[in-house]
Structure 1
Amino acid sequence: MNATPPAAVPPYKDAALPVDERVADLLSRMTLEEKAGQLFHSMLMMNPDGTPVTETDGSMLPFTTPELIGERFISHFNLLGSHGAREMAQWQNAVQEMAAATRLGIPVTLSTDPRHAFTDNVGASFDSGAFSAWPEALGLAAIGDPELVFRFADTVRREYLAVGFRVALHPQIDLATEPRWARQSGTFGSDARLTAELVRAYVRGLQGPELGPGSVSAMVKHFPGGGPQKDGEDPHFAHGKEQVYPGGMREHHLEPFRAAIAAGCAQMMPYYGQPIGTDWEEVGFGSNKGVVTGLLREELGFEGIVCTDWGLLNDSSVFGETHPACAWGVEHLSVAERAARALDAGSDQFGGEQCPDVVVELVRSGRIPRSRIDASVARLLREKFVLGLFENPYVDPDEAARTVGRADFAAAGAAAQRRSLTVLTNPGGLLPLSGCPKLYVEGVDEAVAAGYGEVVPDPGAADLAVVRLRTPYEPRENVFESFFHSGSLAFPEPELSRILALLARVPTLVCINLERAAVIPEIAERAAALIADYGAEDRALLDVAFGRAAAEGRLPFELPRSMAAVEASRPDVPNDTVDPVFPYGHGLSL
């Protein structure tokens, strides 16, 4: 009796063949439904023990992991939430096993928002958790060292690879030109030339000399630069959708993106913003053909993947509240019509969505040709092959536990925190401190402060107060919007008077965390010393204050003198407020 001959390996699974041949073969085997699933970059959650979510209450994420992979054929996912390294690796492997069990066995590509700093915003980033903790991107800009940014991105790459993340939903290279805009902490500040220099190093650190099995794909955002938001409001929300250029600086905002493309970034994310008063159509960038095809593809020559920002098609439920789709300029269209507009514009993938049936119907109705879908699917599959996911989709949980947060990575992040601190004032030479002073602290862990002096409960009994503040913002009623710190940059009353009273009572070192450009003229005048941070632990601040580490930071944007000056400035023009308290690049050496 003859044995059954082994089944022939399909060409797309043959690693010896050229990538383009493998892409063409796999594409030819896919159903329309399987192709449509590739056009969605959805979100997933995981259970704390590293198992996939197999039940859902239908609110924030309406489908389970098995449904998304096995029934909707989606294979690109953004993991939400902070988890242990071993558990993330175990979860990644379980998800890949689900994908391997599908008809064609197309592996999953996992992505993440930034995870290596201090900001925790469900719409933008996560705190470092298990990963090494570095300053925010603004802090890297304050240091201004491309080689450090390369080492940072290379560390991110190694920690991401250990748990299975293959796409970084960063760097964010918008210019911080509107002082009130909520997303500045993820940027490299207001200077286009510095941002261009740093993004080149960042892409090289994530991707290496070229994209390959050891790379993390960089999804650069937010094209063509999201900084010039009217009144500094954020276009996640309808009242912040307008992007304006009263200073005529549109080309200036493109400079970092030109550098990112020249560096070989693999992916690009257009922003939500709706351009107003330009020669572009007044439609959000992800659906804007003049921007995606005309500018990004044809003029700038970008050949990689274009993924829209999250939630352009469907309304969603976030924290039990309805969050309208960010379909600015096309709000009146149906979900299918919005999808068609984005595909016509040249976008390859829909971020944060999971409705491939809409694309299937667009093709079957003749509204979108199959060739248009095939072009985007080919780009997406090609990256999976280049990243080596078909050959090696799994990770080692033990290695993940050893790699993520490794001692040398943590030490490098801690050193960068210290370097990024920016000394703004030291009028009486208070710094560096010496001896073992009596310390009154606010916003500082008393147990940490006790390693530098005697902590006392009453400022009247102290030799020195150390106070940590955060950039002011206006609370918003919408829970989701409350994570995006917007509005006034000035301390309101009675908080300002309380702070100033403390400064009058005891010499005070003030450290303010700058996620935006705080308006602090009175505090700057009356503090015994003033330091800015962009994500730094208490030990980093106190090491600098006591001369145990050197602060090298320089302001990545100016600090305005008043809210009137902010309101009178032009959103697209860097450092445009009148008579700032501290200009761009200010910083003292101790």
Structure 2
Amino acid sequence: MLTVALILGGCQGSGESTKKSIPSIALEKTKVKLELDGQIFRDLNKNGELDVYEDINAPIEDRIDDLISQMTIEEKAGTMFMPGVPVNEDGSLEKKADATGPGARYPAAIDNIDKGKLNHFNVWSIPPDPSLMAVWYNSLQSHAEASRLGIPVTIASDPRHHFSNTIFSMAANGFTQFCETPGLAAIGNDSLVEQFADIVRKEYLAVGIRVALHPQIDLATEPRWARISGTFGEDANLTARMVTAYLKGMQGETLDENSVACMTKHFPGGGPQKEGLDPHFAIQKGQIYPGDNFDYHLIPFEAAFKMNTASIMPYYGVPTDQTDEEVAMAYNKMIITDLLRKKYNYDGVVCTDWGLITDVQMGPDITWPARAWGVEELSPSERVLKIIQAGCDQFGGENRPELVVELVANGELDEARIDESLRRLLRQKFQLGLFDNPFVDETKVSEIVGREDYRAIGNASQQKAITLLKNKDSFLPLESNTSKVYIEGMDSTVVAQYARVVPTPEEADLAIIRLNTPWYPAETKNPFARSFHHGDLDFKQEEKTRLLEIMDKVPTVVDIYLDRPAVIPQISEASRALIADFGSSDKNVCEVLFGNAEPKGKLPFELPSSMEAVENQLTDVPYDSENPLYTFGFGLEY
């Protein structure tokens, strides 16, 4: 130790500054090398000289200046768009005719690079083997390296680390599965949230995902809203604590080559949707504030700003009666420029939510209109201009760079304004180290993604988040291997490890029923809209009667998955024990029910006692239903 200290001291005292070097994995994979004074750089524009933007030791702002000076308007415009792209299961880059999944209808990433000069992409479905995602990613970076300026690609993803029954989490495909974010809030442990985010960061880095389209810090003040499963519940201060820990685990103290940049959403809070109808669709009725509680929804974002969230995503909703224009958030200059940029001095990337410019044809007679609420009459070009003038930098889910080029060519948009957004977008790439090392080590993926110790932490989160709401006569925990059990909504091979499974309630000593919070498809032809969990939160008469008949025959434990606050007064009354989960496997539910783990959750939102109470709530106010069945923060323990 003494020798090392002396050596370090000698170096520090020599007056020599430490120079950074291109990482070895980049030197191994890059095809555009330049050696200068014994040091190797990436010659991204292939001119045989070390440009400032290629110099790993130059100040980032100087590198940005140099790169912007070399970019054409087409290259600048391409940087402002982030469409979704398919990822082939074999890791190849070309578009496959038989491609399936959410990205199948879209052009391959390489086509976007070649034709539109794009360099930001959103991935949905990825190969079942995450190592092949890394193969695809490295091949894509090599393709980008061969472009005129060699600008590296940034890959973004929605959450894919939760045990989830909703469409808003991507399939885990080998990644560690935790409970959903309301479950993290139910546990309420800041250190666990930071640990969760750190594991997500490491697994994302392993496969090349550098931007997280999360966390979602909207407040669940309207219990019918379809996106509550992505939130931390309805309490602003709890959510502020959670997002602070989340960003620390994902980004670190400063954004660097070890970070995943977070796009925190949905500014200024998307929870108070009228009747809970989501503004992804024309069925929405506006984002409303009958309780005059707009500022309450900003509290979590204020915490995110303190943690320097790299990006912000506004939502689709129209802030009804809150600004001088009844237009959606990303079109709204008072929201983006006056509130976000000026009041909060936010100078990070602002990226719109997906699909604000272009209609999507979903079938012969089904059009999903662009989410241009309040400006539907504007042309696509006019929409692009209004969004940029509002203060946004990037267009999520869109691939229309030609519109930006046209606006500049026609004199309607100043190129200096484009450079302003470009500076933010490029700064993030430089901070993440992508210009110096865009590659990952494909051979290390299996050692990092889904590690056994990570999975143990994920399973523990699923268990701890389970919230015990009722336990009549200490019915729980159950004794293993002593009962005959009738089950619904569970895998019998899993439950058979704990008890004997029988086919009917009449044969059983007890029943275990796993339920999902009810939802009812919206009245629309749009199939995507019909998959959103909209509508009432209670079981209707036929199904409720069937469930109550089972509970009348045999003592019943009910587990309900709360992706929204369920209305279940009669089910609660008839059950012998009632638990809630926030994304949990059958195995982890059984671990809790049979006493191998303890439920530690506290409700992150209240459970209303009736649909009438839900309908009478103030949409923007937390814990506001009359005489709730279970209050915010309620939770028993064994």
What interval of TM-score do these two structures reach, taking the shorter chain for normalisation? over 0.9
Match of 1:560 among 597, 608, 611: 608
1:62, distance to aligned residue in structure 2 (A): 4.0
Q: What amino acid is the match of 2:49?
A: A
Match of 2:230 among 186, 206, 211: 186
Match of 1:529 among 577, 589, 608: 577
1:480, distance to aligned residue in structure 2 (A): 0.5
Match of 1:205 among 249, 261, 279: 249
CA contact (8 A) 1:56 1:64 kept: no
Q: Spell out the pairing of 1:38-77 with structure 2 (5 A cutoff).
A: 38-55=79-96, 61-77=105-121
Whether 1:134 and 2:178 are equivalent positions in the alignment is yes
In structure 2, how many angstroms separate the alpha carbons of the residues matched to 1:365 and 1:238? 32
Residue in structure 1 matched with residue 526 of structure 2 by the alignment: 478
Residue in structure 2 matched with residue 246 of structure 1 by the alignment: 290
Whether 1:333 and 2:381 are equivalent positions in the alignment is no
Q: What amino acid is the match of 1:445?
A: D
In structure 2, how many angstroms separate the alpha carbons of the residues matched to 1:237 and 1:583? 31
Match of 2:212 among 164, 168, 174: 168
CA contact (8 A) 2:88 2:126 kept: no
Q: Spell out the pairing of 1:301-380 with structure 2 (5 A cutoff).
A: 301-318=345-362, 321-380=366-425
1:398, distance to aligned residue in structure 2 (A): 1.7
Residue in structure 2 matched with residue 21 of structure 1 by the alignment: 62
Match of 2:72 among 16, 21, 31: 31
Residue in structure 2 matched with residue 294 of structure 1 by the alignment: 338
Residue in structure 2 matched with residue 513 of structure 1 by the alignment: 561
1:56, distance to aligned residue in structure 2 (A): 6.0
In structure 2, how many angstroms separate the alpha carbons of the residues matched to 1:56 and 1:14? 41
In structure 1, how many angstroms separate the alpha carbons of the residues matched to 2:560 and 2:381? 47
Residue in structure 2 matched with residue 394 of structure 1 by the alignment: 439
CA contact (8 A) 1:43 1:80 kept: yes
Q: What amino acid is the match of 1:252?
A: Y
Residue in structure 2 matched with residue 466 of structure 1 by the alignment: 512
In structure 2, how many angstroms separate the alpha carbons of the residues matched to 1:220 and 1:573? 22
CA contact (8 A) 1:172 1:222 kept: yes
Q: What amino acid is the match of 2:450?
A: G
Whether 1:91 and 2:139 are equivalent positions in the alignment is no
SS at match of 1:63: coil
CA contact (8 A) 1:56 1:63 kept: no
SS at match of 1:273: coil
1:482, distance to aligned residue in structure 2 (A): 2.5
1:280, distance to aligned residue in structure 2 (A): 4.3
Q: What amino acid is the match of 2:154?
A: T
- CA shift in 2, pair 1:520/1:250, >3 Å: same
In structure 2, how many angstroms separate the alpha carbons of the residues matched to 1:13 and 1:465? 65
Residue in structure 1 matched with residue 4 of structure 2 by the alignment: none
Residue in structure 1 matched with residue 329 of structure 2 by the alignment: 285
SS at match of 1:291: helix
1:492, distance to aligned residue in structure 2 (A): 1.4
Deviations 1:95-149 (A, max 9, x none): 1111111000000000000001133655x32132210010000000000111100
Moved more, 190-199 or 83-92: 83-92
Match of 1:439 among 468, 474, 485: 485
1:422, distance to aligned residue in structure 2 (A): 0.1
Residue in structure 2 matched with residue 413 of structure 1 by the alignment: 458
Residue in structure 1 matched with residue 539 of structure 2 by the alignment: 491
1:355, distance to aligned residue in structure 2 (A): 0.6
- CA shift in 2, pair 1:241/1:42, >3 Å: farther
SS at match of 2:473: coil
Residue in structure 1 matched with residue 586 of structure 2 by the alignment: 538
Q: What amino acid is the match of 1:446?
A: S
Moved more, 192-201 or 127-136: 127-136
CA contact (8 A) 2:86 2:106 kept: no
- CA shift in 2, pair 1:277/1:184, >3 Å: same
Match of 2:552 among 499, 504, 512: 504
1:92, distance to aligned residue in structure 2 (A): 0.5
CA contact (8 A) 1:233 1:486 kept: yes
Q: What amino acid is the match of 2:321?
A: G
Report the count of equivalent residues. 586
Whether 1:81 and 2:134 are equivalent positions in the alignment is no
- CA shift in 2, pair 1:572/1:49, >3 Å: same
Q: Spell out the pairing of 1:568-587 with structure 2 (5 A cutoff).
A: 568-587=616-635
In structure 1, how many angstroms separate the alpha carbons of the residues matched to 2:507 and 2:181? 38
CA contact (8 A) 2:86 2:107 kept: no
In structure 2, how many angstroms separate the alpha carbons of the residues matched to 1:366 and 1:562? 57
Q: Percent identity?
A: 49
CA contact (8 A) 1:118 1:126 kept: no
Moved more, 24-33 or 239-248: 239-248
Match of 2:430 among 367, 376, 385: 385
Moved more, 475-484 or 337-346: 475-484
Residue in structure 1 matched with residue 150 of structure 2 by the alignment: 105
- CA shift in 2, pair 1:280/1:589, >3 Å: farther
Whether 1:7 and 2:53 are equivalent positions in the alignment is no
CA contact (8 A) 2:161 2:172 kept: yes
Q: What amino acid is the match of 1:17?
A: A
In structure 1, how many angstroms separate the alpha carbons of the residues matched to 2:104 and 2:378? 23
Whether 1:227 and 2:227 are equivalent positions in the alignment is no
The structure whose Rg is larger is: 2
Q: What amino acid is the match of 2:606?
A: E
Match of 1:403 among 432, 448, 458: 448
In structure 1, how many angstroms separate the alpha carbons of the residues matched to 2:605 and 2:108? 43
Whether 1:422 and 2:463 are equivalent positions in the alignment is no
In structure 1, how many angstroms separate the alpha carbons of the residues matched to 2:547 and 2:345? 52
CA contact (8 A) 1:56 1:62 kept: no
In structure 1, how many angstroms separate the alpha carbons of the residues matched to 2:594 and 2:375? 56
Residue in structure 1 matched with residue 13 of structure 2 by the alignment: none
CA contact (8 A) 1:45 1:53 kept: no
1:151, distance to aligned residue in structure 2 (A): 0.2
1:440, distance to aligned residue in structure 2 (A): 0.8
In structure 1, how many angstroms separate the alpha carbons of the residues matched to 2:94 and 2:235? 43
* Unmatched segments (≥5 aa) in structure 2: 1-35, 37-46
SS at match of 1:132: coil
Q: What amino acid is the match of 1:407?
A: E
CA RMSD of aligned residues (A): 1.6
CA contact (8 A) 1:424 1:586 kept: yes
In structure 1, how many angstroms separate the alpha carbons of the residues matched to 2:149 and 2:282? 41
